[in-house]
Amino acid sequence: MSPVRCCAREQGKIGIAAYSGENEALLWAVGSGLFGGVECSVNLFDANGLRSPLPAAAQLGLGVIARRPLGNAPWRFAQQPEGHYAETYWQRLHTLALDTAGLPWNELALRYAAHAAGVGSAIAGTASLAHLQHNAACVARGPLPADVLAAIAARQQAVGRHWRGEI
């Protein structure tokens, strides 16, 4: 076994090595046999991983952490936030033109990502206890209904299948 694979684990420094990234590097990491888990963008605007590397990760028994489940919350901007880190997701939000099924955007986004097939955990950073409690309550409501997921998938397939994961 190579030093990369086992050294830190054998020394008791780590329990599991995981990879965080997107696109081709994520595909390589999933298939490499070097990692026990992966972290990548999983959100309404970055669903590419759900179609390719994440099913393979689940099949191999790798843990999956959804990064950016809120997709940088682009709905908080009335106009395109030019030069802001949320700009790409704002463009995707408006291109998708999703029906939220009566749910607030943050709840739709959190439930979509946290309950996606193969996802074991989702990271939704906040500095606010109230936001943390709200996010936990949203996720606790469970997966989105099948018809809502089907509608989201249809829109993603129609207008966003070429979108690459954000880094």
- Tens digit of pLDDT at every position of the chain (167 positions): 454 555 777 788 888 889 999 888 999 999 999 999 999 999 999 887 787 788 899 899 999 999 999 999 999 999 999 999 899 999 999 999 998 999 999 999 999 999 999 999 999 988 899 999 999 999 999 999 999 999 999 999 999 888 877 64
Length of the chain equals 167
Domain count, the chain: 1
Q: What is the span of the domain harbouring residue 131?
A: 3-159
Please tell me the pTM assigned to this model: 0.88
Instruction: Provide the CATH number for the domain around residue 140.
Output: 3.20.20.100
Asked whether residue 167 is domain-assigned, the answer is no
For residue 21, the Cα-to-chain-centroid distance in whole angstroms is 11
Q: CB of 135 within 8 A of CB of 110?
A: yes
Q: CB of 119 within 8 A of CB of 66?
A: yes
C-alpha span between 148 and 89 (Å, rounded): 20
